[in-house]
């Protein structure tokens, strides 16, 4: 079982002080948060992708590579990578490159993105969202799994004899999760490929999460990747914790009341009851989190949102310290009653082992007819 | 068993909108056999409707109302006239329904107002709204100004509209009505479109 954090990189005013951090501060804070996540023993750091204010989450690959260079162990991931508006040829290159740079410490999560104007900004149409996710990912899969790709589709220019470089490290592509809140087609897609399925979970009632995870598990088994309880499931989560639960509620309420997504709507009490948000003591966070299994079964990855709604960096780092202290109990709790046949989340090492060991998949442009490389021809 | 759902958006208690809704429901029940009637009073759901606009998901009582509408064989919808149109509360309920919820569903539209000068609101506001939502609106809409509650004409109109709705409900079940209904999220969750079909659809083949 992996535990980690995910961020959307929002630049939001702190409602208790009225102060808004600069983009520079927020970008640096994101790096500090990721490094802290590794320090307290978390397994995953994932960043979102946005191409509009008030977010600093554009160019996730630069962010992840930069963090990768300053960390040693933590898995770098996305939440989410926009498979609809990003050219799958670039995704194939970028994440294979990060894979090499970080020695395999990368996976990624595909998402469609729900900011309407981003689609036309990148020459796409939001009404094609599902179709774009389906076609673009099908191409991405081939670019990673096949050395030479000849392809023609609806949404990008055709490829003739194209080789994506660098080739995936050790001949094994990064593991892929597919994230969706309420599009059954995406759960179906994840199941078809035997990829992971991630439900954002936060901001939504448990019933939504359960329906989507149930569908994914059922179809994972249908497509022959294993039994339903062996499907690879990830969930989001959201908490604010203090040793004393009333302190947590008092401190978090102004952030909740003014938060970009759910602020000025339901009360903190109603929202914590209706969604996974938990505001309280470490024991309360522990019990609520362990309870997620009641409706999704034993799962593989739990990511928490800790750095939104204008919470200052200092507070976020304190939250991570508290999460780190809670980790041994979270791990112990999640291990209880977990059947042996339920797999862990795939890692680079486990995927290499499953592929029968590492092999160098570098493509040395050898001419099929003459047996010479480009370089030899030029020098000849 | 026929499931009839009556949505009314009156704000006062008691309200003439609710009164009209009840008369329409009674008349429809009389025209049909074995009917289960569910009343959805939007006033009671006003806070939850605003919350759903902000959070994207319904609280339990509102979720139950949305499910009732999705599973209904026919609808009666009644709004007071506010500023020359349906009320904002009434519109909000139909704004938050998931796409495809009303596809092919028989709907009787009705409205109340202080003056008969608003009577065309049924034709210029409600009928286009439900046409957009791909519902099948019965030919007779029922408009009641305050003065109509004292006359006898309103009853005749209520009976005519209810008869049309009953006829439509009896003829076509929205579930098998011609195969033109859009698939909702609930449909996909129950029976997903196989991935090879999604792949073919994506590439337009």
Nearest to B198 among A188, A270, A274 (CB): A188
User: Where does the pLDDT of residue A379 fall: very low under 50, low under 70, confident under 90, or very high at 90 and above?
Assistant: very low
> Does the structure show a pLDDT above 80 at A189?
yes
The total of other beta-carbon atoms located within 10 Å of residue A380's CB is 7
Within-domain flag for B106: yes
Q: For residue B46, what are the contacts with CB-CB under 8 A and spacing of at least 6?
A: B89
Contact state of B59 with A191 under an 8 Å Cβ cutoff: no
Residue A365 has a pLDDT of 67
A154–B54 CB contact, under 8 Å: no
pLDDT in tens, A64-87: 999 999 999 999 999 999 999 999
Nearest CA in chain B to A214: B189
- Note the pLDDT tens digit of each residue in A95-110: 999 999 999 999 999 9
Of residues B111 and B180, the one with the higher pLDDT is B111
> How many domains would you assign to chain B?
1
Here the tokens at position B185 are 């999220």
The answer to whether the Cβ–Cβ distance between B193 and A185 falls below 8 Å is: yes
* Radius of gyration, alpha carbons of chain A: 21
The single residue listed with the structure tokens 């996974």 is A276
How near does any CA of chain A get to the CA of B165, in Å?
33
Cβ distance of A183 and B195 shorter than 8 Å: no
Chain B neighbors of A265, CB-CB under 8 A: 50-51, 54-55
CB-nearest to A135 from B59, B188, B203 is B203
Residues in contact with A311: Cβ distance below 8 Å, sequence separation at least 6, in sequence order: A14, A255, A319
Say if residues B124 and B157 touch (Cβ distance below 8 Å).
Answer: no
Task: Give the minimum alpha-carbon distance from A320 to chain B in angstroms, rounded to a whole number.
Answer: 26
Q: What secondary structure does DSSP assign to A76-87, as a single string?
A: EEES-EETTTS-
- Mapping DSSP to helix (H, G, I), strand (E, B) and coil, where does residue B106 land? strand
Which residues in chain A are closer than 8 Å to B184, comparing Cβ atoms?
A: none
Nearest to B198 among A154, A185, A203 (CB): A185
A258: pLDDT strictly greater than 70: yes
Please give the full DSSP string across A127-188, using - where no structure is assigned: GGHHHHHHHHHHHHHHHHH-SSEEE--SSS--EEEE--SSPPGGG-PPPEEEE-SS-HHHHH
Contacts of residue A257, defined as CB under 8 A and 6 or more positions apart, other chains included, come to A15, A263, A264, A268
CA dist., res. B106 & res. B92, Å (int): 20
The pLDDT-based confidence of A361 (bands split at 50, 70, 90) is confident
> In the predicted model, is pLDDT for residue A32 greater than 90?
yes
Q: Which residue in chain B has the smallest CA separation from A222?
A: B194
What's the fold here for domain A2-379?
TIM Barrel (3.20.20)
* Contact (CB<8Å) B193/A266: no
Q: Judge whether A109 and A86 are in contact, CB under 8 Å.
A: no
Residue B41 resides in a domain:
yes
A262 CB neighbours in chain B (<8 A) are 54-55
Look at residue B200 and tell me if it is in a domain: no
Nearest CA distance, A197 vs chain B (angstrom): 15
**What's the CA gap between B42 and B89, in Å, rounded?**
7
Judging contacts by C-beta atoms under 8 Å, the chain B residues touching residue A182 are 185
Tell me the mean pLDDT in the region B97-111. 96
Q: Kindly tell me the sign of the dihedral angle through the C-alpha atoms of B154, B159, B163, B169.
A: positive
pLDDT at A262: 85
> Does B19 score more than 70 pLDDT?
yes
Residue whose C-alpha is closest to residue A91's, from A59, A123, A118: A59
- The mean pLDDT value for A162-187 works out to 97
pLDDT of residue A34: 98
- For residue B156, give its domain range: 2-177
For residue A360, the model assigns a pLDDT of: 86
Mean predicted confidence (pLDDT) in A30-40: 98
* Nearest chain A Cα distance for residue B102, angstroms: 19
Shortest CA distance from A210: residue in chain B: B189
Residues of B in contact with A219 (CB under 8 A): 192
Residue with tokens 């009314």: B8
- Contact (CB<8Å) A131/B50: no
The larger pLDDT score, comparing residue A338 to residue A375, is at A338
Q: Is the pLDDT of residue A330 over 50?
A: yes
CA pair distance A146, B10, nearest whole angstrom: 63
Please tell me the distance in Å from B184's CA to the nearest CA on chain A.
10
Q: Tell me whether residue B185 is in a domain.
A: no
Unique residue bearing structure tokens 């774009």: A132
B74 within domain boundaries: yes
CA distance A208 to chain B (A): 9
pLDDT at A58 over 70: yes
- Taking only the tens place, the pLDDT of each residue in B149-204 is 888 889 999 999 999 999 999 864 444 444 567 888 989 999 999 999 999 999 87
Distance CA A237, CA A235 (A): 7
Check residue A371 and give its pLDDT.
58
Mean pLDDT in chain B?
92
Give the helix ranges, DSSP H, for chain A: 23-39, 60-69, 88-101, 118-121, 129-145, 184-193, 206-222, 245-257, 268-274, 282-291, 293-296, 313-335, 348-354, 374-379
Task: Tell if the CB–CB gap between B192 and A154 is shorter than 8 Å.
Answer: no
Find the chain B residues whose C-beta atoms sit closer than 8 A to any C-beta of A: 50-51, 54-57, 59, 185, 188-189, 192-195, 198-199, 201-204
Residues A315-326 as b/e (b if ≥16 CB within 10 A, e otherwise) read bbbbbbebbbeb
Q: pTM of this prediction?
A: 0.88
Q: Is residue B61 part of a domain?
A: yes
Which residues touch A281 (CB under 8 Å, ≥6 apart)?
A: A241, A242, A243, A244, A245, A248
Distance CA B78, CA B158 (A): 12
Proportion of chain A above pLDDT 70, given as a percent: 96
- Sign of the torsion formed by the C-alpha atoms of A291, A297, A302 and A307: negative
In a domain, B203, yes or no: no
Please, which residues bridge with residue B5 across strands? B38, B75
Chain B residues in contact with A153 (beta carbon < 8 A): 202-203
DSSP state of B181: P
The CATH number of the domain where B44 resides is what?
3.40.50.360
Distance in angstroms (rounded) separating the CA atoms of residues A131 and A344:
31
Confidence of residue A141 (pLDDT cuts 50, 70, 90): very high
Task: Check pLDDT > 50 for residue A123.
Answer: yes
Pick from B188, B203, B204: which is nearest to A185 by CB? B188
Q: Which residues of B touch A183 (CB under 8 A)?
A: 185
pLDDT for A370 equals 60
Give the DSSP H/E element, type plus range, for residue A234.
Answer: strand A233-241
**ipTM for the complex shown:** 0.80
Residue to mutate among B58, B62, B99, B189, with most A CBs inside 10 A, is B189
Of these ranges, A49-58, A297-306, B30-39, the one predicted with the greatest mean pLDDT is A297-306
Q: From residue A82, give the alpha-carbon distance in Å to each of A47, A126, A136, B30.
A: 12, 12, 10, 55
CB contact under 8 A, A264 and B54: yes
Site from B47, B53, B192 to mutate, A interface, most A CB atoms within 10 angstroms: B192
Burial of A244 (0-12, 13-18, 19+ CB in 10 A): exposed
Among A240, A248, A374, CA closest to A319: A240
Contact A185 B202 (CB under 8 A): no
């Amino acid at each position: 079982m992996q535990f980690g954090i995910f961020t959307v990189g929002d630049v939001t005013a702190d409602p208790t002080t009225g102060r808004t951090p600069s983009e520079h501060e927020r970008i640096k804070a994101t790096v500090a948060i990721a490094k802290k996540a590794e320090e307290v023993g978390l397994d995953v750091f994932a960043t979102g992708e946005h191409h509009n204010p008030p977010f600093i989450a554009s160019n996730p690959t630069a962010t992840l590579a930069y963090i990768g260079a300053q960390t040693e162990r933590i898995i770098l991931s996305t939440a989410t990578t926009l498979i609809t508006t990003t050219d799958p040829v670039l995704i194939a290159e970028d994440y294979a490159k990060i894979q090499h740079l970080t020695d395999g410490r990368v996976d990624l999560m595909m998402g469609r993105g729900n900011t309407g104007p981003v689609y036309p900004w990148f020459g796409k149409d939001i009404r094609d969202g599902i179709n774009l996710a389906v076609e673009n990912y099908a191409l991405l899969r081939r670019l990673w799994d096949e050395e030479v790709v000849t392809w023609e589709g609806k949404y990008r220019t055709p490829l003739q004899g194209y080789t994506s470089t660098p080739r995936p490290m050790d001949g094994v592509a990064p593991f892929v999760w597919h994230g969706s809140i309420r599009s059954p087609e995406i759960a179906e897609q994840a199941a078809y490929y035997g990829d992971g399925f991630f439900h954002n979970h936060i901001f939504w009632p448990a019933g939504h999460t359960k329906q989507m995870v149930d569908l994914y598990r059922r179809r994972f088994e249908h497509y022959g990747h294993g039994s339903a309880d062996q499907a690879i499931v990830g969930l989001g989560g959201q908490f604010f914790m203090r040793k004393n639960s009333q302190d947590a509620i008092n401190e978090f309420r102004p952030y909740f009341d003014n938060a970009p997504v759910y602020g000025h709507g339901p009360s903190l009490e109603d929202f914590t009851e209706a969604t996974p948000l938990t505001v309280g003591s470490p024991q309360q966070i522990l019990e609520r989190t362990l309870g997620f299994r009641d409706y999704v079964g034993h799962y593989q990855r739990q990511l928490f949102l800790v750095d939104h709604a204008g919470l200052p960096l200092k507070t976020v780092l304190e939250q991570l310290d508290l999460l780190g202290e809670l980790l041994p109990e979270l791990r112990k709790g999640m291990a209880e009653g977990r059947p042996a046949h339920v797999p862990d989340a795939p890692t680079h090492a486990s995927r290499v082992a499953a592929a029968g060991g590492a092999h160098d998949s570098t493509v040395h442009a050898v001419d099929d007819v003459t047996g010479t490389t480009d370089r030899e021809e030029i020098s000849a | 068993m026929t499931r009839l759902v009556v949505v009314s958006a009156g704000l006062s208690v008691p309200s003439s909108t609710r009164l009209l809704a009840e008369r329409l429901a009674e008349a429809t029940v009389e025209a049909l056999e074995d009917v289960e009637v569910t009343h959805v009073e939007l006033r009671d759901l006003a806070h939850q409707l605003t919350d759903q606009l902000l959070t994207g998901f319904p609280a339990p009582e509102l979720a139950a109302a949305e499910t009732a509408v999705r599973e209904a064989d026919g609808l009666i919808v009644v709004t007071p006239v506010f500023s020359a149109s349906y009320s904002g509360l009434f519109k909000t309920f139909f704004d938050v329904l998931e796409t495809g919820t009303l596809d092919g569903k028989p709907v009787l539209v009705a409205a109340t107002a202080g003056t008969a000068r608003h009577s065309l609101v049924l034709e210029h506001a409600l009928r286009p709204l439900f046409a957009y939502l791909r519902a099948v609106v019965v030919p007779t809409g029922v408009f009641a100004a305050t003065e109509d509650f004292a006359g006898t004409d309103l009853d005749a109109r209520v009976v005519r509209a209810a008869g049309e709705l009953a006829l439509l409900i009896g003829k076509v079940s929205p579930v098998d009505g011609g195969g033109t209904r859009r698939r909702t999220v609930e449909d996909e969750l129950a029976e997903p479109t196989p991935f090879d079909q999604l792949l073919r659809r994506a590439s337009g083949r």
